[in-house]
């Protein structure tokens, strides 16, 4: 499955580990929410990057105590019609201040790419190579937005106010 991160198609450094498999001593691993929550304290102290696959029917507030120790949170879109992971992403970025990789997984459609970026996702596991290329192009297509979000881009109104304030001084 191709991975797009920061607008480029990249190799995935994280290895998905099954719940019944032994964790390797080193290397970046991606584990299920159930496995993480069963032994979060011990897992969070690993001396290697740790990621968790978080389902969209769980409250991301459960991750709050460990956000500074997680390198990756993969949020799941079980169907393209289920947008709960959008809300989870915004909460993680804007309220909880998560700065690690936020990856969208599951059924992601091309027309959702810009919204995913705006909601705080910075990596996408897409189903097809052609989707990866389309997403890579979409990351640079729009530069100005009307809605404010926590992705670091100023809204069109904020840009206008900034230009007006600069011109007035």
Q: Is 3.20.20.70 the CATH number for 3-141?
A: yes
d(CA 112, CA 86): 10
Q: Could you report how far apart the first and last alpha carbons of the chain are, in Å? A: 52
> Quick count: other Cβ atoms within 10 Å of Cβ 40?
19
Residue whose C-alpha is closest to residue 24's, from 41, 49, 2: 49
Which pLDDT score, from 0 to 100, does residue 131 have?
Answer: 73
**Rg of the chain over CA atoms, in angstroms?**
17
Instruction: List pLDDT tens digits, range 26-69.
Output: 899 999 999 999 989 888 888 999 999 999 999 999 999 999 99
3-state secondary structure of 39: coil
The residues of the chain scoring below 50 in pLDDT are none
Can you give the pTM of this predicted structure? 0.83
């Amino acid at each position: 499955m191709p991975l797009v991160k920061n607008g480029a198609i990249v190799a995935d450094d994280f290895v998905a580990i099954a719940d019944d498999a032994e964790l390797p001593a080193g290397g970046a691993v991606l584990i299920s929410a159930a496995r993480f929550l069963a032994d979060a304290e011990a897992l969070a102290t690993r001396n290697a990057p740790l990621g968790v696959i978080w389902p969209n029917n769980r409250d991301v507030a459960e991750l709050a105590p460990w956000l500074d120790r997680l390198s990756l949170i993969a949020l799941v879109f079980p169907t393209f019609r289920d947008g709960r992971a959008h809300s989870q992403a915004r909460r993680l970025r804007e309220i909880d201040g998560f700065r690690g990789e936020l990856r969208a997984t599951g059924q992601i459609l091309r027309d959702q790419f810009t919204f995913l970026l705006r909601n705080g996702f910075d990596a996408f596991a897409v189903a097809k190579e052609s989707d990866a290329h389309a997403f890579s192009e979409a990351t640079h297509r729009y530069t100005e937005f009307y809605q404010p979000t926590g992705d670091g881009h100023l809204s069109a109104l904020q840009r206008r106010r900034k230009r007006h304030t600069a011109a007035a001084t």
